[in-house]
Amino acid sequence: MLNPNLDSIELTKDDYERYSRHLILPEVGVDGQKRLKAASVLCIGSGGLGSPLLLYLAAAGIGRIGLVDFDIVDFSNLQRQIIHGTSWVGKPKIESAKNRILDINPFCQVDLHETRLSADNALDIIKGYDIVVDGTDNFPTRYLTNDACVLLNKPNVYGSIFRFEGQATVFNYEGGPNYRDLYPEPPPPGMVPSCAEGGVLGVLCGIIGTIQATETIKIILGKPNTLSGRLMLYNALDMKFRELKLRPNPVRPVIEKLIDYEQFCGIPQAQAAEAEQQNNMEEMTVTELKALLDSDADDYVLIDVRNPNEYDIASIPGATLIPLPEIETGDGVSQVQELVTDGKKLIAHCKMGGRSAKALTILQNTVGIAGTNVQGGIRAWSEEVDSSVPTY
């Protein structure tokens, strides 16, 4: 529980009017609103989860909000990152978020940390705040945030989303578990698809983000029954909530310092393996592919290894859809073998080149079919060959 000196906090006439619906709640009242005004919250990320929680924390009267982000607003963000608007596309997310926060609550102090959170800066940034809210979307930053909160004894309000499912809990609060109790080891790189690969229902971010905001406010108010020790799982398609108990692992390693979290999660190793794989693989540019497609050549086969819904968005003329998951399970391998009869050359593409390289490696290793990877995939095709092809 946070224990500010409430005698030093004054509510203004504007505060009484602005927060009147809080003030008449016995569970909040004047003292509770003073706690909110005295509190400082650091939000790591101002994207899908950060957007709704920042809006509600600002509206609730949090006195100081810190933002950590280094990204810019993209059109693809607007489907779920509701703190940003079309006029902010191409501009820094934290500037966009600050503008919206101050529009909601001009009396909130907004601190901007336009940087990538790292082992070098995390402790310095986090130490100045009462509570940390994790709105990140990658494992290295989640482990980093967790470990820094443990070292500094800060509550860590956690949420994550993917497709139609989300989860939320509170870590490192009043002796409760931390992130390493839920995930002692990170999954292998690439095993868990990102939202950019698998998609996410926009409103799911709002549900999980507002739950994070709710838990943050409860901690500030000193209310019981937080999600500490409980992992809340939500399925939007089924409209069902369920809960799992979390307990501290008595034999978990003691966190004594921050480490190299990219290394811990196997990112450099995976990138090196991917680079070596692509170095040993024949590649072609999208302009070379266009020239081939425009020629009279018929000694090649072009396959698209993206998912069917991606193919429906955009496709390259003449490409045959064989999704990577089908190649990974072996079901698509025989289809490829049928296509490359009579010595035809195999060419593969995906969204940006990674999945097609993986598919070609599988085909080479399993049935000895070598192929050529299209650099940059259909994203490069849209940017360099045909701008009418939608990007996503």
| Residues carrying an active site annotation | 195, 350
The closest of 372, 371, 373, 391 to 381, measured between CA atoms, is 391
Alpha-carbon span 383 to 290, nearest angstrom: 13
Sheet holding 282-284, edge to edge: 282-284, 371-374, 345-349, 300-304, 320-321
Q: Give SS3 for 195.
A: helix
Q: Around Cβ 103, how many Cβ atoms within 10 Å?
A: 9
- Are 41 and 130 in contact by the 8 Å Cβ rule? The answer is yes
Tell me the two tokens of residue 299. 């000694």
The tally of CA atoms less than 13 A away on the side-chain side of residue 110 is 24
Burial of 198 (0-12, 13-18, 19+ CB in 10 A): exposed
Tell me the two tokens of residue 337. 């073998």
